Amino acid sequence: MSPLINILRAVAEPTRLRIMAVCAEGELTVSELIQILGQSQPRVSRHLKVLTDAGVLERVPEGNWVFHRIKPDGLAAEVVNALVLLAQANDEEAILDRRRLEGVKAERRERADAYFRKNATEWNALCALAADEPRIDSAIQAVLGDRTIGDLLDIGTGTGRMLELLGGIAHRAIGIDLSADMLSVARANLTRAGLARCSVRKANMYQLPFADRSVDTVAIHQVLHYADDPARAIDEAARVLRPGGRLLIADYAPHAVELLRSEHHHRRLGFSDDEVRSWLGAAGLTLERIERLPGDSLTVVLWLGAAQTAPAVLKAAGGFKAAVIQT
C-alpha cells in the first residue's frame, strides 16, 4: 500500500495534477511547462521533483534539455491514467492548459515548417551529415533483405529518397509528408527517376489515412528526431502494418551535437536501443535487428521491427485501402 500512498500524496496538489495532465499528452521540457502553466521556473521545477521522486514522472536528460514524461508502466501509470480522466472532466483550468499545450505544439510545428521550407532542396545533403548516403542505402537494403517488401509506406518522405531507393522493389509505394515544399521536390525526383508505382501525398504521421493492416513495409527515415511524440508515431505505423509486416526506423544513436537542435530543429538528439525497443513492444512489434553505421561525430542506427503472425506470402495487390479518416 505504501507506493500507492506515496503516489497519491505526490499528485494531490493542483499544479501537480495540471502537470500530470499535460505530460500525459507527450514529453515536455521545463520551459514548455512554464509556458503552459504560467508559473515560475523554480516553482515548476519543485513540483517536477516531487512527481519524479514519487515515480510518477521520469526525467530524460538529453544534451542541454531535459524532457519530462509520464512513467510508461507500473502502478504510477495506472493511477495517472485514472486521475487525468477525472481531473480533465469539465475542468476550466484543464481546458485552458490543453489550449496552451496546443499552442506550444503549434509553435514547434511552425518552426519546423519554416526550416523545411528553407531547406527542402538541400535536404538530402543535410541528411548525409552523419555518414555517406551510399553506405546507408546499402545497409537499408541489406537489413530488409531479398524478400519482397510488398506495399511500402514512407512516413515523413521528405524529398522521396526512400521511395527512390526502395520503390523499384515494392509493389506500390506511397510517401507522406506535411511539408508541401518537400512533396513538390519529391514528386519531381520520382518523375525524374521514372518511378510510376510511387506517389506522395500530404498527411499527418499521427493520423495516417490508411486502413488497419493495409501495408507490408513502413519506413521512418530520419524523422523521429523531429517528432513531438515518437512513441505515438510508431504506434500509428504499427496500426497499418499487415501481419508479418516490417517497420524500418533509421535515425541517430544518442549524441551531443546541440547544433542539430539549435540550427536544424531536431527535438531529440538520438535514441537508445532500449527506448526504441520499448516503443516497438508497446505497439505490438518485435525488434528483430539493429544495424549501426558510425560516422565522424554521429552514428546512424537502423532498427527493424516486425509485426506478429507472418503470412506465407505478402499480398501482391490491393494495398493502401483508405481509412475513414481523410487528411
The count of residues in the chain is 327
pLDDT the model gives residue 316? 39
Q: Mean pLDDT lowest for which of 42-56, 226-240, 300-314?
A: 300-314
DSSP string, 118-172: HHGGGHHHHHTTSS-HHHHHHHHHHHH-SS---EEEEET-TTTHHHHHHGGGSSE
Q: What whole-number distance in Å separates Cα of residue 197 and Cα of residue 173? A: 6
Backbone CA torsion sign across 127, 261, 278, 280: negative
Q: Quick one: average pLDDT of 130-135?
A: 71
State residue 126's pLDDT score: 56
pLDDT score of 279? 96
pLDDT at residue 249, rounded to an integer:
98
Buried b (16+ CB within 10 A) or exposed e, 107-144: ebeeebbebbeebbeebeeebbbbbeeeebeebbeebb
pLDDT band at 183 (very low <50, low <70, confident <90, very high): confident
In this prediction, residue 117 carries a pLDDT of 61
pLDDT for the residue 210: 94
pLDDT (tens digit per residue) in 135-177: 889 999 999 987 779 999 999 998 899 999 999 899 999 999 9
List helix spans (H) across the chain. 2-11, 14-23, 30-37, 41-53, 75-88, 92-119, 123-127, 133-144, 161-166, 180-193, 230-240, 259-262, 273-282
pLDDT above 80 for 11:
yes
Report the pLDDT value the prediction gives residue 73, as an integer from 0 to 100: 67
- Single pTM value for the model: 0.68
The conformation of residue 67, written as its DSSP 8-state character, comes to E
User: Mean of the pLDDT values across residues 297-324?
Assistant: 67
* Measured distance CA(224)–CA(220) in Å, rounded: 7
Of the listed ranges 2-6, 115-119, 150-154, 225-229, the one predicted with least confidence: 115-119
- pLDDT tier at 127, thresholds 50, 70, 90: low
Burial (CB count <10 Å: 0-12, 13-18, 19+), residue 90: exposed
On average, the pLDDT of the chain sits at 83
Q: How far is CA 1 from CA 4, 5, 10, in A?
A: 5, 6, 14
* Predicted pLDDT of residue 218: 98
In tens, the pLDDT along 197-224 reads 888 888 999 999 999 999 999 999 999 9
Domains in the chain, please, with CATH? 2-89 (1.10.10.10), 122-307 (3.40.50.150)
Which pLDDT band, with edges at 50, 70 and 90, does 27 fall under?
Answer: confident
The C-alpha atoms of residue 73 and residue 79 are separated, in whole angstroms, by: 10
Q: CA-to-CA distance for 106 and 132, rounded, in angstroms?
A: 33
pLDDT band (50, 70, 90) for residue 103: confident
Q: Which stretch of DSSP H or E encloses residue 289?
A: strand 285-294
Distance CA 236, CA 34 (A): 30
User: Which range, 21-30, 38-47, 92-101, 257-266, is most confident?
Assistant: 38-47
Answer whether residue 323 shows pLDDT above 50: no
Percent of the chain residues past pLDDT 70, beyond the cut: 84
With cut-offs at 50, 70 and 90, classify the pLDDT of residue 80. Answer: confident
Mean pLDDT of 65-74: 78
Q: What are phi and psi of 125, to 5 degrees?
A: -65, -40
Q: How far is the C-alpha of 209 from the C-alpha of 202, rounded, in Å?
A: 10
- Stretch 278-295: mean pLDDT: 95
Confidence label for 311 from pLDDT (cuts 50, 70 and 90): very low
| Residue with grid cell 546507408, as numbered in its chain | 136
Neighbours of 272 (CB within 10 A): 12
